[in-house]
Structure 1
């Protein structure tokens, strides 16, 4: 519908220049998040592999029972080592969360559960790799193990968990049927600001968190000054880059920039101002949001409906 040349938006604008294009709020956010997955190959790989892991671990009742048993053992050990707090309502999660493309907050929950249950997932995949019922199952488990026990996977997991954590509150709020427009626009502004702050100041804390997680589960940590290797065939005439450049520029900065561009595009200044001006006509609380200046600005959005004379009268 939003096609630049022949979509519904273009056809309507050809008939009326004062038509404005505003997505459903929740749909805008989901489109922005989906854009990150579609525009960065490593994030595509991450979510594809995460989905495969969830499918393999939960493929049968036997594997689900095996996973619950491994996870219960892991919790018991962590409690004995004072690595977890005990109490009512704590440590009750026993299954990996599944993600859904229509509910992007589910991807956030999926990544959190995968991080929390990481050792149990690894244990189950090792069992499938050894005792799988066919060669295909053993091979798939082997591939998933190799991928999950790599620095690239752990880095991508923590990066996307942070980004989706920032957008999760906004995602939940925009899906409320009684959402207030002014509050929604404030949330969008806060979300953009937090993403920009993460881009400017969040690298060091992420680089501390990822190696800590890798060290805990004996995952090899590359030296940031070494030349980056993707593991595949090198591109011809491609300039060699360091691991630091790849993870900081090509992944960390690039993914956040894609997210910010999409949010800025879908929640642009014109649409935001239009919606805030419309909010002054809300009848809630005896029209408490009424604002004459915003009403005048709203009229200026429609020059074909309000001439200069009409604006003076208004």
Structure 2
């Protein structure tokens, strides 16, 4: 919604102009479209909003003062959404996704050893779990307050909960409906947003990098000619079983493909990457059906599953 509104030519030009006015020496930042699947893309979109929040609100205020009724209505609606609670959530998500972004970038690197993905995932999981503290929550609240001041957002949340007192004329009744409009305080956001976000992300990390997943990743590495475990049956077997390939077929094909590669080396043909291995095996794919299938999977799996 925010990205779509600021993509319009009139709003976009005004947004760029205000950024230059607020920070003349800084490079202008473009808002990014939010991705539902890529952690790195999600971080980039969140970071862009956080970085330009003062300019975003200044742009919305200027748009509200223009004559275009439809644009004014949209700007007023967006401005109403961006409050202190919005900023706290923005800081929370920017912080946790910053931790996962470098892992996503590493796993998508063509030169990354997927066998090391387990260690990388474990270190990121520990880093995320260590954020689940009162000190970290106070740090986020302080950063959110600072951003609110810079962006001109008035504080609305209570630091301590004040319990509403029942009116005298209701003291003799059982009151089941709320007596006043609910107001969030810092305890609410910590309990219902900060901790659940971290817990959900930890669950997702454990799901994506389970023991079975790590075994498959080791099999991917064993199909790379430059890896020390190249064509090691023990490393490839868990991956083969995961994709319902029998051990007997795998053993037979590995034995024959080693002899094939030895013969190719004697002829002066060497392979240094999984892509070259796939190209070499393509003419023999009917003879090495299961191994050829695993090579294809090893090339597509990192792209589709690491972010």
- 2:297 maps to what in 1? none
Matched, 1:55 2:4: yes
- 1:64 maps to what in 2? 12
1:191 to 124, 133, 136: 124
**Equivalent residues, number:** 233
- 1:208 maps to what in 2? 142
Change (3 A) 1:279 1:119: closer
- 1:151 maps to what in 2? 84
- 1:113 maps to what in 2? 48
Contact 2:117 2:217 in 1 (8 A): no
Helix, strand or coil at the partner of 1:92: coil
Helix, strand or coil at the partner of 1:97: coil
**1:152: Cα distance to partner?**
0.7
Change (3 A) 1:256 1:179: same
**1:251: Cα distance to partner?**
0.3
Change (3 A) 1:194 1:95: same
Helix, strand or coil at the partner of 2:126: helix
- Provide the rounded CA distance (Å) in 2 between the counterparts of 1:237 and 1:293: 65
- Encode CA deviations 1:156-209: one digit per residue, 9 max, x unaligned: 111110111011111112223443212222221122111101123522211221
Change (3 A) 1:283 1:112: closer
- Provide the rounded CA distance (Å) in 2 between the counterparts of 1:186 and 1:133: 55
Helix, strand or coil at the partner of 1:64: helix
Matched, 1:256 2:190: no
- Provide the rounded CA distance (Å) in 2 between the counterparts of 1:123 and 1:228: 36
Change (3 A) 1:147 1:280: closer
2:207 to 258, 261, 265: 265
Change (3 A) 1:261 1:228: farther
- Encode CA deviations 1:253-290: one digit per residue, 9 max, x unaligned: 001111111221221123324534x36745645x5348
Where relative contact order (Cα < 8 A, 6+ residues apart) is larger, the structure is: 1
- Provide the rounded CA distance (Å) in 2 between the counterparts of 1:104 and 1:296: 28
Once structures 1 and 2 are overlaid, which stretch shifts more, 102-111 or 119-128?
A: 102-111
- Provide the rounded CA distance (Å) in 2 between the counterparts of 1:306 and 1:97: 47
Mapping for residues 163-242 of structure 1, pairs under 5 Å:
163-200=96-133, 202-221=136-155, 222-226=157-161
- 2:228 maps to what in 1? 288
- Provide the rounded CA distance (Å) in 1 between the counterparts of 2:90 and 2:11: 23
- 1:133 maps to what in 2? 68
- Provide the rounded CA distance (Å) in 2 between the counterparts of 1:281 and 1:158: 40
- Provide the rounded CA distance (Å) in 2 between the counterparts of 1:144 and 1:203: 26
Contact 1:281 1:289 in 2 (8 A): yes
- Encode CA deviations 1:218-268: one digit per residue, 9 max, x unaligned: 323322212599xxxxx9689x89623311111000011111112212211
Mapping for residues 33-44 of structure 1, pairs under 5 Å:
none
TM-score of the aligned structures, taking structure 1 as reference length: 0.62
Contact 2:132 2:195 in 1 (8 A): yes
Q: Which has the larger radius of gyration?
A: 2
Contact 1:195 1:256 in 2 (8 A): yes
- Encode CA deviations 1:59-101: one digit per residue, 9 max, x unaligned: 12x322222211111013xxxxxxxxx6xxxx22243233333
Helix, strand or coil at the partner of 1:271: helix
